[in-house]
């Protein structure tokens, strides 16, 4: 059976995963990570792609990217992949393929799903048991979002920009939010949608994308958990912030409780 066409749309965020062939390591020494980031930087500039988040794992890469024109996502990933393979094979005196087929991706809604997807990515090293806290993992965007470190490679996504009026305020809110309890099924939804090339979003967003691409998508992935009954907290005004002006739902629920359950950094789950 022919595989369905990839969902790749201009002006929509995409969660992308590229794995090593047979899940073999694609980074062996620190220089490998640095070269990969440079490949991302060059391709980002050439193909007009916004990069909202990244996590470089030992045998795969997570990216949250938004192409500015049709076809840019594929060109961007092809450029990164080819350039990095040439470097890796030369540096480590090997030949042959490095990647496990084509990359996996899912279109992501711009509402709180966008920042949930970032959390899914940045907690990946914790789930894998590589570190106890995401701040301890060097090769991700968490260092910039939560700690204020400089990282000119990445762009601020609309939801992060709306977390506070200042960089310090946004970083504090993001750190609190990363430790908020995680809804049952949230990570499975993101993982399955990405593996299957679907949509990370609710049914209304699935209908929107389905109408855009002329393909039935509603019901292909499960919608978000039901809305919490706790009162929403207002975010600061920001010209790029979605008109809802609301916290991600899990933040609102946790802050409404006296003692929020902190499960964000448990490492008992298998890495995805």
Residue 248, pLDDT score: 53
Contacting residues for 94 by C-beta, under 8 A, at least 6 apart: 88
Domains of the chain listed by start with CATH number: 7-108 (3.30.70.1290)
Cβ atoms of 233 and 247 within 8 Å: the answer is: yes
Model confidence pLDDT, tens digit, residues 29-82: 999 999 999 999 999 999 999 999 999 999 999 999 999 999 999 999 999 999
Residue 245 banded pLDDT, cuts 50, 70, 90: very low
Band of the pLDDT at 230, cuts 50, 70, 90?
Answer: very low
Of 165-174, 201-210, 212-221, the poorest mean pLDDT is in 212-221
pLDDT the model gives residue 4: 63
**Rounded Cα gap, residues 260 and 146, in angstroms:** 19
Statement: the pTM of the whole predicted model exceeds 0.85: no
pLDDT of residue 125: 97
pLDDT reading at 266 higher than 70: no
| Rounded average pLDDT over 85-102 | 96
Determine the Cα–Cα distance for residues 182 and 253; give it in Å rounded to an integer: 10
- Burial (CB count <10 Å: 0-12, 13-18, 19+), residue 43: buried
Structure tokens given for 82: 């080819």
Write the pLDDT tens digit of every residue in 102-156: 999 999 998 889 889 999 999 999 999 999 999 999 999 998 989 888 899 999 8
Residue 206 has pLDDT above 70, yes or no: yes
Helix axes 186-196, 112-122, angle to 10 degrees: 90
Helix axes 30-47, 72-91, angle to 10 degrees: 150
Q: What is the structure's pLDDT at 229?
A: 38
The pLDDT mean for the chain works out to 82
Q: Which of 4, 2, 10 is nearest to 212 (CA)?
A: 10
């Amino acid at each position: 059976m022919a595989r369905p066409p990839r969902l790749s749309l201009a002006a929509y965020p995409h969660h992308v995963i590229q794995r090593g062939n047979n899940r073999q390591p694609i980074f062996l020494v620190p220089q490998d990570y640095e070269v990969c980031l440079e490949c991302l930087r060059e391709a980002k500039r050439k193909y007009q792609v916004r990069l909202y988040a990244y996590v470089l794992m030992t045998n795969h890469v997570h990216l949250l990217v938004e192409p500015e024109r049709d076809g840019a996502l594929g060109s961007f990933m092809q450029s990164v992949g080819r350039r990095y393979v040439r470097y890796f094979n030369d540096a480590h005196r090997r030949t042959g393929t490095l990647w496990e087929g084509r990359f996996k991706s899912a279109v992501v809604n711009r509402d709180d799903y966008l920042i949930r997807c970032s959390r899914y990515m940045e907690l990946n090293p914790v789930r894998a048991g590589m570190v106890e806290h995401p701040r301890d993992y060097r090769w991700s965007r968490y260092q910039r979002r939560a700690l204020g470190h400089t990282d000119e490679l990445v762009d601020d996504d609309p939801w992060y920009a709306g977390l506070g009026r200042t960089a310090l305020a946004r970083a504090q809110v993001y750190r609190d939010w990363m430790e908020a309890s995680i809804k049952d099924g949230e990570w499975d939804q993101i993982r399955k949608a990405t593996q299957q090339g679907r949509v990370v979003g609710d049914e209304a967003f699935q209908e929107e994308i389905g109408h855009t691409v002329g393909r039935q998508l509603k019901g292909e992935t499960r919608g978000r958990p039901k809305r919490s009954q706790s009162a929403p907290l207002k975010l600061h005004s920001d010209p790029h912030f979605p008109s809802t002006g609301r916290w991600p739902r899990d933040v609102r629920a946790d802050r409404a409780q006296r003692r929020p359950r902190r499960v964000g950094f448990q490492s008992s789950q298998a890495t995805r």
